[in-house]
Copies of this chain bind each other. A is one copy, B any other.
Amino acid sequence: MARITKEEKRGGIISAALKLFSQKGFYITTIPDIAQKVGMSVGNFYNYFASKELLAKELLMYIAEYLGKRIREINEKDISTEEKIYEIVSMYFTMADEKPEMIQYFLRVYLSNREVFGEGCEGMICVSPFVTEMMIFFEEGVAVNDLHNQDFFSAFGLFMGYLGGMVFLFGEKILPEPLEWYKTSISQNIYNALKTR
Contact = CB atoms under 8 A, between A and B. Distances in A.
A24 B193 contact: no
A158 B153 contact: no
Contacts of A193: 158, 189-190, 192-193
Interface in A69-125: 107-109, 111-115, 123-124
A174 B112 contact: no
Interface in A149-197: 150-151, 153-158, 160-166, 168-169, 172-177, 182, 185-186, 189-190, 192-195, 197
Contacts of A164: 161, 164-165
Contact of A176 (B124, B153, B157, B186): B153
A111 B107 contact: yes
A151 B178 CA distance: 13
A28 interface: yes
A129 interface: no
A24 B158 contact: no
30 contacts: A24-B115, A25-B112, A25-B114, A108-B112, A108-B114, A109-B112, A111-B112, A123-B173, A124-B174, A151-B177, A151-B182, A153-B166, A153-B169, A153-B182, A154-B186, A156-B165, A157-B162, A157-B165, A157-B169, A158-B162, A158-B186, A160-B165, A161-B161, A161-B162, A161-B163, A161-B165, A161-B166, A192-B192, A192-B193, A192-B197
A128 to B, nearest CB: 11
Contacts of A153: 166, 169, 174-176, 182
Contact of A28 (B25, B115, B124): B115
B154 A185 contact: yes
Contacts of A194: 189
A86 to B, nearest CB: 14
B112 A189 contact: no
